[in-house]
Amino acid sequence: MSNIVDPLVRQIATRVRTERERRRWTLAQLADASGVSQAMISRIERGESSPTAVVLGKLSAAFQLSIASLLALAEGTRDAPGDDMTADTGETAGVRRGDGAPEWRDPDTGYRRRQITSPHFPAEVAEIRLPAGAHVPYPAAAFAFVRQIVWVLDGHLTFHDGDTVHDLGPGDTIELGEPSERAFANTTDTECRYAVVLTRGTRP
């Protein structure tokens, strides 16, 4: 078995540990705030386990951060493929090639999230690919302090917004209101692709 650790797993490990320590929280305190076990948080922080989308949602809710923020590069780093804004390539500053955008895959559902914007851009834009049959729930707190719109690009998305269910097809959008428990589901037999555009509201 390979001992090579996925760079994005290391990145998430560093981010979670940094956010916890910045708040001076113990593992037990983060476990209480998020509902994720201490053992799982410890494995994530050591880079031994890639968290699922559900776990990331719970951790982001506890930190009052967006999921994109947990997946973003550590502030000041520029060593991701395709993210060198100063390389002598003759290209316009800020260009990021399609194969250079960081992508994270949920080890549980196969949900894939590709971050379109860099950590320094004022809005967060991500492309999501939700496999057939996947169901990804998030707690209400994961949507606090943000404004968000979901735009379906291909396929069919069943979006649960609290007790309300929305069936969305290509071109459909939904602007999210006050935080509530939400879930993204694909009840079809083909992949669903959608974009999430997020801006931060009042800071906690």
For 66-97, write each residue's pLDDT tens digit.
777 777 643 333 333 333 333 333 444 577 77
List strands edge to edge, sheet with 146-154.
103-105, 112-115, 124-130, 192-200, 146-154, 173-176
The mean pLDDT of 146-170, rounded to a whole number, is 96
Residues 6 or more apart whose Cβ sits within 8 Å of residue 131:
109, 110, 111, 186, 191
Architecture in CATH of 7-71: Orthogonal Bundle (1.10)
Check whether 100 has a pLDDT greater than 70.
no
Structure confidence at residue 191 (pLDDT): 98
d(C-alpha 196, C-alpha 175), whole Å: 10
Residue 79, token pair as written in the block:
């060593």
Residues 6 or more apart whose Cβ sits within 8 Å of residue 87:
none
CATH number of 102-200: 2.60.120.10
d(C-alpha 11, C-alpha 49), whole Å: 12
What percent of the chain has a predicted confidence (pLDDT) above 70? 82
Instruction: Answer whether 5's CB lies under 8 Å from 44's CB.
Output: no
Residue intervals in the chain for CATH 1.10.260.40: 7-71
Residue intervals in the chain for CATH 2.60.120.10: 102-200
What percent of the chain has a predicted confidence (pLDDT) above 90? 49
Average pLDDT of the chain, as a whole number: 83
Structure confidence at residue 2 (pLDDT): 39
More confident: 147 or 71: 147
**Closest CA relative to residue 139, chosen from 5, 36, 17:** 36
Q: What is the pTM of this model?
A: 0.77
Which of 10-19, 34-43, 65-74 comes out lowest in average pLDDT? 65-74
